[in-house]
Structure 1
Amino acid sequence: MSSTTPVLFWFRQDLRLDDNPALRAAIETGQPVVTVFVLDDETPGDMAYGGASHWWLHRSLDSLGNQIKEAGSKLILRRGDANDVIPKLIDDVGANHVFWNRRYAKWQVEADKALKQSLEDDDIKVTSCNGRLLYEPWDIKTKSGGPYRVFTPFWKALKAEGKVRDTVTGIRKMDGPSSYPKSDKLSDWGLLPTKPNWAKSFEEVWEPGEKGAMNALRDFLDGPADSYKDDRNRPDRDGTSRLSPHLHFGEISPVQIWHIVRDKMSAGDVPDSQGDVFLSEVAWREFSYSLIYHNPDMHKKELMEKFRDFPWKQSKKKLEAWQKGQTGYPIVDAGMRQLWREGWMHNRVRMIVGSFLVKHLLLDWREGMMWFWDTLVDADEANNTASWQWIAGCGADAAPYFRIFNPMTQGEKFDPDGDYVRKYVEELKDMPAKHIHTPWEAPKDVLKKAGVELGKTYPEPIVEHKQARQDALDAYQSIK
């Protein structure tokens, strides 16, 4: 075999040069490496990237392309059904070996299996690696050999598994082929919004790409990590890592995060009690991947069968009020507006708005899941699906359905001074903390002084909390 015969590396949700096992394996063949990213909006069906993900993807690919250029090579871009694009590219470059990191959603597993089979039938070697998770979804098993359905024992088993693999040496130099195949231009893909540019404020909040991911981790470890256990539930504080979109696009790996955080804990830079809680969140992501791998139809079907008969309501008006942050419940509206403004929402508030949709409005959790899919920069199939099923009470280790978040007390507890609400619900910026989570209970003179006219400048609640709670419990009784 001539060492000038190129091999192909296919980037997917692993847009980084550090700790990229399949890319490292491709480089170690000693052959020239052609790198490609395929924008495939066909194979995923409903799970094709949404608008916010397209924005992030453009920025991330731009960053990755520059990194690869600095390493001495070029990133090839192609658009279309990957099962057609990859074999055609192999023919174009004369490659004899393809490398990729594994994926775990049903459509991804099916597509990769079919492509692998067809390539091997044509005598093209395929090597796949785990570049997405600490452990494969089939590695962490119960004593009876099956997958876990409850998080706490899963987390204990993951910790007992022993050593997370070492990080793989990063790529600084890459030998490309003597001539490169044709590539699309990133700007021709139309991933960025034009008019109106709804992603304008994303620029102020995010730095997509591998460098941005490392900066986010560094910023977290230099500050919020010290009080993560308490502050992670406070949307009014900068207490979380905001690593989720970087993890979703694979600009950083959970293995890198695991080792860097553990090293900081060993050095005494991050208290064990705080670091352990943060790493358990990384493990929750692993748990979500295990769930979708072992329950391939989970984004469509409730894990708990009895919920498949739940009497969901339909109301376009209520759904739109929720989507636009016009429900009349300030903490809910703040979360939905943060989502629209930043492409992201604080995790505690995700629970509050999710509970409100499925339990106060009795709207189908899939409606919420698909709205998040389109508007979140971290719209990850595993996390998004598992979290929506959890909040709806129909998934693994789910919050019991009858645990109905009270949006007023949640607001008072986790945003006690109302700073989070004021930031995103500007109509209420002059409301005193005492009334900011229940403006409908405020005396007329307080409302007037704050410039709030309920029903005009800020909506009245679209449902009454006590009645909505009772309706949800009645609906639950009907399937019990």
Structure 2
Amino acid sequence: RAQSMVTAVGWLTLLLATSFASRIPLKIISMSSTRYTGLSGVRRGQSRVSDAEKERGRVRAEPRQHGGRGGPVVMWFRRDLRVEDNRALVKAAEAKHGIIPLFVWSPEEERESAPGAAARVWLRAVLEDLNKTLTERYSNPLIVRTAASAAEALGQVIKETGATRIIFNKVHEPSIIERDKNLLGKLHTIFQDSGLVAEIDQVDGSHVLYTPKMIEMPVGQYRGGHWGTLTPFMRSIAKLPKPKRPIPPPRTLPRAEVNLSSSAIEQTIVHWDGEWGDKNSPMRWGGPVSKWESDMMGRWGSDAGTEYGGRERMRMFLEIDLGRYEATRSNADIRAELSSHGHSPVSVLSPYLRWGQMYKMEMYITRVLSTG
């Protein structure tokens, strides 16, 4: 049983740490707290930022003062829709001039990786839960904006509020890394045109246990091996220090004194017209939407799509169901049945991980560090 536990924990660690590591080596943006001045396009004490530097997203950082130059801070939520163990959010909480929690809905920009109908239903529940937490705990509701691109939405918020700082967590998907590189140049232009001295903080450490660069595998080192194989992955991370422990949520998130409009979450994320499925989807199935939604979400229980629901499911899996994982993980026909007593051979945590509601650090600490 102990050996099965170790193997199962190894697979969990692999899942949490390297969802996209099979596509590495990656050129990861190296940028944090970069300051731009919109008046001249020159960083204080630095030479003019070249177009090549902006494209690469490798503009060197300089010492900064928290809170920018008097404008509010935009906390841009992406694949980290939670308040627990959110390093960008904790950093944003240091702001002196108020915080704007922002989520951008830009499915056109996502292209082939845009969420489908089922993922949108789950995302709606996630955003409603995040908005409830931000409102009840911090009196600072989530702003949802729809745009063709994140750059467009962020530009609108900057112009409407005079925000002088944008903070967001780094995402390690190759397509998003490339998109972020282009985003930096666009944001530089927006700040420059607005005449603002601004900072952009891209925070690492909230998306994976280990960054792909830390554990990249030399091509050809393992015959037939890849990052879907547990053994080379475990050998690689065995040489690394243990991941950082989770950090608590901020105590306060001061609200920026601005008046911003926000799109209705339900109407923005899920557009339905009484049929089963998203009306924008090429796949149309008959049946009432309400039944389809309730059937799907009901599989995860009454707390589906909430941070609390994710933590409870993680607890049940680690305490009750993990012992069955090794014996049943290769059976593709296993049906995941959830109840208050667990009884599922798989974790059923993927939608929580997809939108960053589950903070993988806590899962690692709970199971691995507690057992030595």
2:203 is aligned with what amino acid?
C
Q: Is the 8 A contact 2:68 2:199 kept in 1?
A: no
Q: Is the 8 A contact 1:12 1:37 kept in 2?
A: yes
**1:357-376 → structure 2 map (5 Å cutoff):** none
Q: CA offsets, 1:296-327, max 9 Å, x none?
A: xxxxxxxxxxxxxxxxxxxxxxxxxxxxxxxx
Q: CA offsets, 1:77-110, max 9 Å, x none?
A: 0011211111111121111110111123343122
Q: Which protein has the bigger helix share?
A: 1
1:139 to 182, 200, 214: 214
Q: Is the 8 A contact 1:78 1:85 kept in 2?
A: yes
**Distance change >3 Å, CA 175–CA 107, structure 1 → 2:** same
| 1:247 alignment partner in structure 2 | 353
State the TM-score, normalized to the length of structure 1.
Answer: 0.52
Aligned residues: 266
2:169 to 85, 101, 115: 101
Are 2:280 and 1:220 aligned? no
| 1:126 alignment partner in structure 2 | 200
Q: Percent identity?
A: 24
1:185 to 261, 264, 267: 264
Are 2:133 and 1:39 aligned? no
Residue 133 of structure 1 aligns to a residue whose secondary structure is: coil
| 1:149 alignment partner in structure 2 | 226
Residue 238 of structure 2 aligns to a residue whose secondary structure is: helix
1:167 to 246, 257, 262: 246
Separation in 1, partners of 2:309, 2:256: 29
State the TM-score, normalized to the length of structure 2.
Answer: 0.66
Separation in 2, partners of 1:240, 1:264: 21
Cα offset, 1:190, TM superposition: 5.3
| 1:204 alignment partner in structure 2 | 298
Q: Is the 8 A contact 2:172 2:211 kept in 1?
A: no
Higher relative contact order (CA 8 A, sep 6+): 2
**1:348-363 → structure 2 map (5 Å cutoff):** none
**Distance change >3 Å, CA 158–CA 30, structure 1 → 2:** farther
1:262 is aligned with what amino acid?
V
2:121 is aligned with what amino acid?
W
1:252 is aligned with what amino acid?
M
1:102 is aligned with what amino acid?
K
Residue 44 of structure 1 aligns to a residue whose secondary structure is: helix
Cα offset, 1:124, TM superposition: 2.8
Q: Is the 8 A contact 1:43 1:107 kept in 2?
A: no
Separation in 1, partners of 2:100, 2:315: 32
**1:212-291 → structure 2 map (5 Å cutoff):** 212-233=309-330, 235-236=334-335, 238-266=344-372
Separation in 1, partners of 2:321, 2:251: 31
Question: Structure 2 stretches of 5 or more lacking a match?
Answer: 1-66, 276-287, 336-342
Q: CA offsets, 1:246-275, max 9 Å, x none?
A: 011100122221112124434xxxxxxxxx
Q: Which runs of 4+ in 1 moved over 6 A?
A: 143-148
Question: Structure 1 stretches of 5 or more lacking a match?
Answer: 267-480
| 1:6 alignment partner in structure 2 | 72
Separation in 1, partners of 2:176, 2:145: 18
Residue 144 of structure 2 aligns to a residue whose secondary structure is: strand
Separation in 2, partners of 1:115, 1:104: 15
Cα offset, 1:172, TM superposition: 4.1
Separation in 1, partners of 2:69, 2:131: 25
